[in-house]
């Protein structure tokens, strides 16, 4: 609220919230600090790296990389080492070469990097996904499933996931709770994915709505090859507006 009103206290309150908040409010605090970050924020962001996981952890690391130019990952001890080194030297905590290239994320789906540990994949399973891809014998659906099957075993040990297919209706892998990253659960998910059929219309909103109901979800990856054709919301601008409101928290 302070940030939306343009209050000068928004930044100070957000820094305070880094040490006492969790979940969506912590993400909101990091996002507010990212609007106008400064060197004084670094020590508090390092504490977030040391005490958090999932989306909050990766957001704090990304902001630290932007502020300092260092390409250190999710390692609070390394961040503290360089923080103390610069403070002892009396220098600004910035990479000496000013190399501000963000750390590359090796974990991704269809070229989209994953930042959260609790992810729901929402995949179009309408009939159009049977169409072939350019210069390959794979269909769009097989490509989407194949990449996800390869990705799931690479999720972090603390990771949780779920998959929602949408055609005329939404079809969910789980019963509503995110699935822990365990070998047996990965095997069950793989069989479910590989046996799914692609048919029907494109109820994009239904799949998205189902994903947002997941308890504790940090990130939703949505994949579709066409415009919504069925469902309670079909106009893209209305779906985007609904998503923007839900994404706030």
pLDDT digits (tens, 9 = 90+) for 196-216: 999 999 999 999 999 999 988
Does 195 score more than 50 pLDDT?
A: yes
CB atoms within 10 A of CB 92: 9
Q: What is the pLDDT of residue 97?
A: 67
Give dist(CA 126, CA 203) in Å, integer.
Answer: 8
124 within 8 A of 166, measured Cβ to Cβ: yes
SS3 231: coil
Q: What is the pLDDT of residue 27?
A: 94
Does 104 score more than 70 pLDDT?
A: no
Distances (CA, A) of 152 to 105, 121, 129, 145, 147: 16, 11, 21, 11, 9
* Antiparallel, parallel or unpaired: β 118-124 and 112-113: unpaired
pLDDT digits (tens, 9 = 90+) for 52-81: 999 999 999 999 999 999 988 898 988 998
* Antiparallel, parallel or unpaired: β 219-223 and 179-180: unpaired
Does 155 score more than 60 pLDDT?
A: yes
Burial 126-146 (b: 16+ CB within 10 A, else e): bebbeeeeeeeeebbbbbbbe
pLDDT digits (tens, 9 = 90+) for 2-42: 888 989 899 999 999 999 999 999 999 999 999 999 999 99
Mean pLDDT rounded to a whole number for the chain: 91
Q: For residue 24, which of 118, 93, 158 has the smallest C-alpha distance? A: 118
Grade residue 164 by pLDDT with cuts at 50, 70 and 90: very high
Does 168 score more than 80 pLDDT?
A: yes
Burial class (CB within 10 angstroms; exposed 0-12, middle 13-18, buried 19+) of 121: buried
To the nearest 10 degrees (0 to 180), the angle between helices 23-34 and 42-51 is: 150
HEC profile of 73-125: CCCHHHHHHHHHHHHHHCCCCCCCCCCCCCCCCCCEECCEECCCCEEEEEEEC
45 within 8 A of 57, measured Cβ to Cβ: no
Alpha-carbon dihedral of residues 21, 27, 30, 36, nearest 10 degrees?
A: -130
Q: What is the pLDDT of residue 102?
A: 44
To the nearest 10 degrees (0 to 180), the angle between helices 42-51 and 76-89 is: 160
């Amino acid at each position: 609220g302070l940030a939306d009103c343009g209050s000068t206290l928004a930044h100070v309150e957000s820094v305070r919230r880094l040490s006492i908040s969790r979940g969506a409010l912590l993400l909101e605090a990091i996002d507010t600090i990212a609007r106008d970050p400064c060197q004084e924020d670094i020590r508090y962001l390092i504490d977030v790296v040391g005490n958090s996981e999932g989306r909050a952890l990766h957001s704090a690391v990304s902001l630290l990389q932007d502020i300092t130019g260092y390409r250190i990952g999710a390692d609070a001890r390394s961040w503290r080492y360089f923080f103390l080194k610069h403070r002892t030297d009396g220098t600004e905590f910035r990479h000496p070469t000013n190399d501000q290239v963000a750390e590359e994320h090796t974990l991704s789906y269809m070229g989209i990097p994953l930042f959260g540990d609790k992810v729901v994949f929402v995949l179009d399973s309408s009939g159009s996904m049977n169409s072939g891809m350019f210069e390959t014998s794979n269909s769009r659906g097989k490509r989407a499933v194949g990449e996800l099957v390869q990705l799931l075993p690479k999720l972090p040990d603390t990771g949780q996931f779920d998959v929602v297919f949408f055609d005329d209706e939404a079809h969910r892998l789980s019963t509503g709770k995110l699935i822990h990253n365990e070998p047996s659960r990965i095997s069950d998910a793989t069989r479910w994915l590989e046996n799914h059929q692609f048919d029907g219309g494109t109820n994009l909103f239904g799949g998205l709505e189902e994903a947002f109901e997941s308890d504790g979800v940090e990130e939703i990856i949505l994949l579709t090859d066409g415009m919504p054709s069925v469902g309670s919301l079909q106009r893209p601008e209305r779906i985007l507006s609904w998503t923007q409101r839900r994404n706030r928290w």
